[in-house]
Homo-oligomer: A and B are copies of this chain.
Amino acid sequence: MASIAKGNAVIGQSGGPTVVINESLVGAIERMRGVKSIPKILGAHHGVRGIVNEDFVDLAKVNKTTLEAVAVTPAAALGSSRDKPDEAYCEKIFRVFEKHNVRYFFYIGGNDSADTARIVNEMAEEADYELRVFHIPKTIDNDLRVTDHCPGYGSAARFVAAAFMGDDRDSASLPGIKINVVMGRHAGWLTAAAALGRQDRSDGPHLVYVPEIPFETDTFLDDVRRVYGRHGRCQIAVSEGISDETGTPVTVALAEKLGHRVERDSHGNPQLSGSGALGDFLSDYLKQNLKKRYETLRVRSDTFGYLQRSFPGFASPVDQDEARNCGRKAAELALGGDTDGSVVIRRAKTGKYKATYERAELCDVARETKDLPRSYMNRDGNNVTKKFRDYAMPLVGELPTIGKLV
């Protein structure tokens, strides 16, 4: 039996928050509390930045009621960070760990956080410093490797699916073309979830576009024309990250086509985020090209924005449980003697949906990401397949009821 390392624990949260990231935090805390060899459980305020600044919150004293309230609260209760530590930064982290006799490090985040954990772990090994380093996965993008899916995805997917269900009824009430822009710069997992509430062929989203498949404005126009001709309306799901064949973001390509000015930063990179530009450009493009045929055409767009990762009181119960379990599992692995790793979720291969939790190598989770498989999209690349629905449905919990009269 492996020895239990004697020393303090540090836990931090990183990157874009999710609705259940605090479940993982609480899961790890509750598993470590009362373990005699861990005198202090320190929360790093704003992730790695809090570590290098020695800005810690004592988590051992937080009462159970507060912890449970924190667990159901969206966004990083400890504060998050966008810092992506290089070797020098990791060196600083490691020095702080030595100084505070930290023997357990848990980092909740995406692939960059796994990479940070990996580097710090290597430093500890080289210095022959006993340290347990665990990455706990979270991302609404669902793009981490090895794991079947990522905590945070189920709840974001639930929000997006429900939003499309309600918006589809709204758009059937006052028919027209409705474009909804969904988060996901490189991966289409969340945008694909737009289709999870669909009950029959007349329901939206009628078209779904993801970053993995090159977006062509002409094909898009044809698609919309066809759907509008059939249903007298068209609801569209679009990833914020859709790009053309050359990899140019559609926001930029369309802006130039429509004669709009594109804001660029000092490096010449176009500004894409935190903006309604893509939805507005797609709307303008459709209006310009369809108004002749349909004079009174109504075209609207919404960009769902930060609500997708932060809307409270609407989490997927499955996602909540799993996020909590991932936090617990990381602490268990560390207390069980494993020195490092990431927690991954495995899905039972047959029968009813069931998740189990395993350890993966940090290097297998770090850096690279996982695209939406091509088989989860139809041949035309403009909607999801049953295979995707079968994959994603168990993750979002029960969706709202929809009734129809016409």
Interface residues on A, range: 35 or more
CB of A92 within 8 Å of the partner chain? no
B303→A167 contact, CB < 8 A: no
> How far does the alpha carbon of A275 sit from the alpha carbon of B279 in the complex, in Å?
8
Interface of chain A, helix or strand or loop or mixed?
loop
CB of A57 within 8 Å of the partner chain? yes
CB of A366 within 8 Å of the partner chain? no
**CB neighbours of A169 from chain B (8 A):** 17, 73-75, 77, 310, 312
CB of A365 within 8 Å of the partner chain? no
CB of A135 within 8 Å of the partner chain? no
A277→B276 contact, CB < 8 A: yes
> How far does the alpha carbon of A311 sit from the alpha carbon of B16 in the complex, in Å?
23
> How far does the alpha carbon of A118 sit from the alpha carbon of B73 in the complex, in Å?
48
B274→A300 contact, CB < 8 A: yes
**CB neighbours of A19 from chain B (8 A):** 166
As for how many copies of this chain the complex holds, the number is 2
B306→A406 contact, CB < 8 A: no
Known: A69-B401, A400-B312. A304 touches B301 (CB 8 A): no
Identify which of B22, B68, B166, B300 contacts A312 (C-beta below 8 A): B166
15 contacts between A and B (CB under 8 A): A13-B173, A45-B406, A70-B403, A72-B401, A73-B403, A77-B404, A78-B406, A79-B174, A163-B307, A167-B310, A169-B310, A260-B261, A273-B300, A276-B277, A313-B314
Interface set of A (CB-CB < 8 Å, partner B): 13, 16-17, 19, 22, 43, 45, 57, 59, 62, 66-82, 162-163, 165-167, 169-170, 172-175, 178, 260-261, 263, 273-277, 279-280, 283-284, 299-307, 309-314, 399-406
List 11 extra interface pairs beyond A75-B170, A312-B402, CB under 8 A: A16-B174, A17-B173, A22-B403, A43-B406, A59-B405, A70-B403, A75-B166, A80-B173, A82-B174, A169-B312, A274-B302
